[in-house]
Amino acid sequence: MNIVAGVDCGTQGTKVILVDLGTSRVLAECSAPHELISESNGRREQQPSWWIDALVTAFEQAVSTANVDPKMIKAIGVSGQQHGLVALDSQGEVIRPAKLWCDTETAPENAQLLQMLGGEQACIDRLGLRVETGYTASKILWMKQHEPENFAKIAHILLPHDYLNFWLTGEYCADFGDASGTGLFDVRNRCWNEHVCALIDPSGNLFKALPELNRAEKATGVVIGQAKERLGLSDNVVVSSGGGDNMMGAIGTGNVKNGIITMSLGTSGTIYTFSDKPVELKHPSIANFCSSSNGWMPLICTMNVTSATSLVQDVLKMSLAEFNHSIEASQIGAGNISFLQFFNGERVPALPDGKASIHGLDAANFTRDNLVRSVVEGATFGLKYGLELLRGAGINIEQIRLIGGGAKSAHWRQMIADTMNCEVICPEVEEAAALGAAIQASWALKGRMDNEIIEQLIALNEESRTQPNCNNVAQYQVAYDRYIDTLYSQYPRLAEAQLTGGCNE
Ligand SMILES: Nc1ncnc2c1ncn2[C@@H]1O[C@H](COP(=O)(O)OP(=O)(O)O)[C@@H](O)[C@H]1O
Ligand SMILES: O=C(CO)[C@@H](O)[C@H](O)COP(=O)(O)O
Q: Which CATH class is domain 83-158+173-210?
A: alpha beta
CA dist 71 and 74 (Å) reads 8
CA dist 86 and 393 (Å) reads 34
Query: Is 101 close to ligand 2, i.e. is its CB under 6 Å away?
Result: yes
Q: In the prediction, which pLDDT does 278 show? A: 87
The H-or-E segment that residue 466 falls in is: strand 460-466
Q: In the prediction, which pLDDT does 258 show? A: 87
Cα 266 to middle of ligand 1, angstroms: 6
Give the Å distances, CA to CA, from 121 to 100, 136, 284, 502. Answer: 26, 20, 9, 12
Catalytic-role residue among 245, 418, 481, 485:
245
Assembly ipTM: 0.97
- Residue 79, judged by CB atoms within 10 A of its CB (0-12, 13-18, 19+), counts as buried
- 443 and 217 in contact (C-beta within 8 Å)? yes
CATH architecture of 254-304+396-472: 2-Layer Sandwich (3.30)
Cα–Cα nearest to 387, from 461, 285, 240 = 285
Degrees, nearest 5: CA angle 41-243-237: 125
**Structural domain spans, the chain:** 83-158+173-210, 254-304+396-472, 306-384+474-501
Q: Which atom of ligand 1 is nearest to the CA of 309?
A: 27
Amino acid at 4: V
Q: In the prediction, which pLDDT does 24 show? A: 93
The H-or-E segment that residue 169 falls in is: helix 160-169
Is residue 81 marked as binding? no
CATH architecture of 306-384+474-501: 2-Layer Sandwich (3.30)
Q: In the prediction, which pLDDT does 502 show? A: 56
Same CATH topology for 83-158+173-210 and 306-384+474-501? yes
CA dist 356 and 340 (Å) reads 5
Ligand 2: residue of 106, 129, 268 to mutate (most ligand atoms within 8 A of CB) is 268
Q: In the prediction, which pLDDT does 505 show? A: 55
Q: What is the 3-state secondary structure (H, E, C) of 393-453?
A: CCCCCCEEEEECHHHHCHHHHHHHHHHHCCEEEEECCCCHHHHHHHHHHHHHHHCCCCHHH
Q: In the prediction, which pLDDT does 454 show? A: 92
Q: Which residues of the chain fall short of a pLDDT of 70?
A: 499-505
Residues with CB under 6 A from ligand 1: 10-13, 266-267, 306, 309-310, 320, 324, 404-406, 408-409, 412
Q: What are phi and psi of 424, to 5 degrees?
A: -125, 140
Cα 413 to middle of ligand 2, angstroms: 20
The verdict on pTM exceeding 0.90 is yes
List, for residues 86-116, the tens digit of each pLDDT value: 999 999 999 999 999 999 999 999 999 999 9
